[in-house]
Structure 1
Amino acid sequence: MRGIQISEYVKGPKELKVTDLPDPTPKPDQYLIEVHATATNFFDILQIQGKYQNQPPFPWVSGAEFSGTVLATPSSATNPKFPIGSRVFGASQGAYATLVCAAEPELLPVPQGWSFLDAAGLFVTAPTSYGALVLRAGIKAGDWVLVHAAAGGVGLAAVQVAKAFGATVVATAGSARKLEVAKQFGADHVLDYRDAGWPDKVKKLTPKGRGVDIVYDPVGLVDKSTKCVAWNGRILVVGFAAGQIEKVAMNKVLLKNISVVGIHWGAYARFEREAIPLVWGGIGKLIAEGKFKGTVFSDKEFVGLESIPDALLALGGRETWGKVVVKIPQPGDSKL
């Protein structure tokens, strides 16, 4: 196969190289998958630099999210869920390659009518946003929801989930293009969070200026968001893309009866596995109803393993929106 192997940590994506490598040998519980598309994530950039919490022993192949076709089923399985030829998507170490191995819990079928390109970016963002809004915040019709970084991967997923549940969405982003994208995916109102007065503007949009019911925050804007959240409001802590873990004045949380709620989707497999099929069932229903679509960044196309460094640089430079996905052409491909 061909892939991006890490034998020592690098300073950044520019140093990544594509090389010929031995085909991977699946473990008894793993599928062998031909990769047709791979999605980029911020943690991929951290991992190649040795800064992520999960650092495999050298050498290892980078990348995590992918979609592709099953070439071989687990040797330990008598009745595998995904027969040879199945179109699947998922996450497993080594996705920046033409072949990857993955266990059954790490895989799902590509939704009907979806391309490999769209499906490659679904495994991380969709359940994070659905789990946050539905499981943790109890979203319901009529809620007002503030989505920060709304044009990002999890942000666009959150906008779509909130709209599907009958909420009114106020979206923030940091450029005119990103605000336009948030609108295209269903946001009712958009605001630039570079404007220091955004909390007051959010509050004025809501009925009688009462504030929003739910704040979805993958950035690190909890403290400022307390200014525009309603009584009994819920603030979802999704991440810290701004680079700092906040210190919040807890008197603000007390005075408005605010719930500050974390969402760590990756930990559900360890602590609450029974929730996983419920979340994916809900996402599948939204997809089938046409209420959730792929969020692939389309302003620029990335094709081939050699384009992964540029894709990661664009992602890291905040130049993109949605999910940055790279096509991996395979022999016999007609379309992705």
Structure 2
Amino acid sequence: MPHIISAVQVTDFSKPPQLAHVALDPPTQDQVQICVRACGLNFADLLMCKGTYQDTPKLPFTLGLEMAGDIVALGKNAPRHLSKGMRVAVFAGQGGLATKANVPAQRCIPLPDALTFENATALQIAYGTSHMALAHKARLQSGERLVVTGAAGGVGLTAVELGKLMGAEVIAVARGASKLAVARSAGADHLIDADDPDLRDKIKALGGADVVYDAVGGTLFEACFRATNPDGRVLLIGFAGGDLPKLKPNHMLVKNISVIGFYWGAYFNFAPDVVTQSLTQIFDWAAQGKITPHISNRLPLEQATDGLSLLSNRTATGKVIITL
């Protein structure tokens, strides 16, 4: 029988999301039901509120892409390694901003005992995106020079931390001294203000970029692209700045530069094992203390819309986590 839960729902793309009491059915045969303990907020949630995200569910739906919690019920087709009471993390694409959620059983990853629900939630999209982009797509090598734009943001900060862990020399690009200080604390070797008119020249003075991790787009992408070394790789992670970058294929050809599009969530559809392996590695690193997610704000479910405002106003550094 369905039971009533609290959830932050989008019912109309022209109206803000609202906390509501809704009915939750038992899990289907391929799902598990979890008691949600933490849910991460992401830029994609803002796009979903407007209906402009590429994977926006049909109305009405509950926000919250990534979450962690305890399994309280299992569908009959759930993998045998999952059991009631098990602590898991899961990227479900929706449903996390609620007291309980039905999620795909195959996406549930058991958590090491040393890993908290909050940290496990903060590690998924942000660290998963950066780890797969840097290791799986760009093949970042120890000793290479990595430029990260939006280096104090939710994903940018993880790229700084993981790039350093993988042995790269990291150049962090962010707006303002306070955000650059956050990037330095994550391990950045060099700091450049995003508003610096000499951004390209300063990157080139440091030796140029072997890999660019760009989550901002627009003119920042263009400056970093021009500072990329021959045979370099430029990762298109997102366009938080609002403007799509202008690609120059002739420059790509002459300098043998690869521009690589990367969307982490799509891998669940065509290569889910790659995601599972990546997240398992990330959780192990975190349990060993090698990486620590930067959580700038922790808010209760009743203040989830305040958390979304922190993202839209760009006042958050690192992750915003909703705790339940």
TM over 0.5: yes
Partner of 1:5: 9
Asked if 1:212 corresponds to 2:209, the answer is yes
1:225 aligned counterpart, secondary structure: helix
Asked if 1:86 corresponds to 2:86, the answer is yes
> Is the 1:200–1:227 Cα contact (8 Å) retained in structure 2?
no
Asked if 1:20 corresponds to 2:16, the answer is no
Asked if 1:191 corresponds to 2:192, the answer is yes
Asked if 1:119 corresponds to 2:120, the answer is yes
- Cα deviations by residue, 1:246-281 (Å, 9 ceiling, x for unpaired): 222223222322111121222222333442333234
Partner of 2:267: 268
- Cα deviations by residue, 1:142-186 (Å, 9 ceiling, x for unpaired): 111101111112111111211111111000111222111111111
| Deviation at residue 289 of structure 1 after TM alignment | 4.2
Partner of 1:308: 304
CA distance in 2, matches of 1:308, 1:205: 41
**For structure 1, which segment, 281-290 or 186-195, has the greater mean C-alpha deviation from structure 2 after superposition?**
281-290
- Cα deviations by residue, 1:216-239 (Å, 9 ceiling, x for unpaired): 111113321122111211111111
- Cα deviations by residue, 1:311-336 (Å, 9 ceiling, x for unpaired): 001111111111111111xxxxxxxx
| Structure 1 residues 194 and 112, CA gap change in structure 2 (3 angstroms) | farther
2:53 aligned counterpart, secondary structure: coil
CA distance in 1, matches of 2:63, 2:281: 30
> Is the 1:18–1:306 Cα contact (8 Å) retained in structure 2?
yes
2:319 aligned counterpart, secondary structure: coil
> Is the 1:170–1:191 Cα contact (8 Å) retained in structure 2?
yes
CA distance in 1, matches of 2:176, 2:26: 45
CA distance in 2, matches of 1:203, 1:318: 28
| Deviation at residue 288 of structure 1 after TM alignment | 4.5
CA distance in 1, matches of 2:228, 2:198: 14
Asked if 1:55 corresponds to 2:52, the answer is no
Q: How does 1:246-257 map to 2 (within 5 A)?
A: 246-257=245-256
| Structure 1 residues 65 and 277, CA gap change in structure 2 (3 angstroms) | closer
Identity across aligned pairs (percent)?
36
One-letter code aligned to 1:158: A
> Is the 2:111–2:283 Cα contact (8 Å) retained in structure 1?
no
- Indicate the RMSD between aligned Cα atoms, in angstroms: 1.8
Q: How does 1:1-336 map to 2 (within 5 A)?
A: 1-11=5-15, 15-77=16-78, 80-92=80-92, 93-206=94-207, 211-220=208-217, 221-298=220-297, 301-302=298-299, 304-328=300-324
| Structure 1 residues 136 and 111, CA gap change in structure 2 (3 angstroms) | same
1:9 aligned counterpart, secondary structure: coil
One-letter code aligned to 2:214: D
One-letter code aligned to 1:63: G
> Is the 1:17–1:306 Cα contact (8 Å) retained in structure 2?
no
CA distance in 2, matches of 1:255, 1:314: 42
CA distance in 2, matches of 1:205, 1:112: 42
More strand by share: 2
One-letter code aligned to 1:137: A
Unaligned runs of 5+ in 2: none
| Structure 1 residues 116 and 277, CA gap change in structure 2 (3 angstroms) | closer
Count matched residues: 317
1:125 aligned counterpart, secondary structure: helix
> Is the 2:109–2:280 Cα contact (8 Å) retained in structure 1?
no
One-letter code aligned to 1:100: A
> Is the 1:226–1:253 Cα contact (8 Å) retained in structure 2?
no
| Structure 1 residues 111 and 322, CA gap change in structure 2 (3 angstroms) | farther
Unaligned runs of 5+ in 1: 329-336
> Is the 1:223–1:249 Cα contact (8 Å) retained in structure 2?
no
Partner of 1:332: none
CA distance in 1, matches of 2:283, 2:68: 16
1:69 aligned counterpart, secondary structure: strand
| Deviation at residue 10 of structure 1 after TM alignment | 3.5
